[in-house]
Chains A and B, each alone.
Chain A
């Protein structure tokens, strides 16, 4: 009689434990998924908040050339950091009209950015480039300064349209600062 009672009690307690374990496991998995989603979402949100808006710039070109005529120009890239000293920048240029190919990149006028910036070689013979540079020294430009020069090969007459985007501008301490980027055709 005692044997029967003990046996049935053991079975009953086991049947009670299994659902509890399942509930704990399911809650654990839900928390895990929430954690993963939160981790994935956080950088994206930060990037979305900080992604700058591009600016459209038109540069006039000669109208009296044949559609197949090819010419070369240089585009100066300026960054205006105001009163702050510019220690790092990241800039993107993309042509929005056909017949524009990037053929070369060189540095800027100030000694801090005299060397050519970082860029992807695949930008050559392409219509888009990202350039970036920094300087850890103390001799840094402030105000409006030419930070790079981009050489392009143009085909056909008329104006060419570019989209510019200054992604990063920062001081020597790595603090982001509001700055404005602009481009213009190099004056001979």
Chain B
């Protein structure tokens, strides 16, 4: 057995300062639990690097798009009846007037010899003139509007087919024209 590892000086004979310094240097380190370490790290990160506002991901975008589309659909459904009943159609009226004049000229040659009250339709306005609200367009819608005009019971611009702000005979004629359109 070698004596190399043997201390030259017994520990009990070392100076007290040396012993104290050696004990301070070689003391075992404190073991910190991993959870505590992680918590401290996150706490530090939250202070040093505050979280950025989160960017919307694809799912959020999709949700938003579907929501907006649904709301737009609801709005359209709610507004559709009003649009149908209030779309002014100057071209339609103009065409009807010209057709009426043309038909009057044609029918003037017929055997009746009377000035015909003929009005011609141009295109479909199926739901725009449902004055009596029975879900179909027929001569009774024109009749109902004519009766309202006659009795003075027109409510606002309800039945204003040509969009001129006045409910009168022209609107009745427009509805009737729609009825007999081929």
Contacts and interface: CB of A to CB of B under 8 A. Distances in A.
B176 interface: yes
Contacts of B59: 18
A4 B111 contact: no
B142 A107 contact: no
B143 A174 contact: yes
A167 B180 contact: no
Interface in A71-91: 74, 87-90
B74 to A, nearest CB: 6
Contacts of B46: 3
A87 B147 CA distance: 11
Contact of A104 (B110, B135, B177, B182): B110
Size bracket of the B interface: 35 or more
A124 B67 CA distance: 53
Nearest to A22: B63
Nearest to B173: A118
Interface in B31-47: 35-36, 38-39, 42-43, 46
A170 B140 contact: yes
A129 B35 CA distance: 90
A63 interface: no
Contact of B77 (A32, A47, A133, A176): A32
Contact of A167 (B35, B103, B120, B138): B138
B87 interface: no
B148 to A, nearest CB: 10
A46 interface: yes
Contact of B107 (A1, A18, A74, A105): A105
B181 A89 contact: no
Interface in B54-110: 59, 63, 66-67, 70, 73-74, 77, 99, 102-103, 106-107, 109-110
Interface stretch (A35-43, A54-62, A154-162): A35-43
Contacts of B177: 118, 120
Nearest to B77: A36
A151 interface: yes
Given A21-B63, A22-B63, A122-B182, A88 B42 contact: no
Contacts of A47: 135-136
Given A18-B59, A32-B77, A118-B179, A106 B139 contact: no
Contact of B112 (A39, A107, A122): A107
B43 A132 contact: no
Given A3-B43, A36-B77, A151-B111, A121 B66 contact: no
Given A1-B39, A105-B118, 17 more contacts: A3-B43, A4-B42, A29-B66, A88-B139, A88-B143, A105-B107, A105-B116, A116-B116, A117-B180, A118-B119, A119-B180, A121-B103, A124-B106, A126-B182, A132-B138, A132-B139, A174-B144
13 contacts: A18-B59, A32-B73, A32-B74, A90-B179, A105-B118, A118-B177, A119-B118, A123-B182, A126-B182, A132-B179, A132-B180, A134-B139, A174-B144
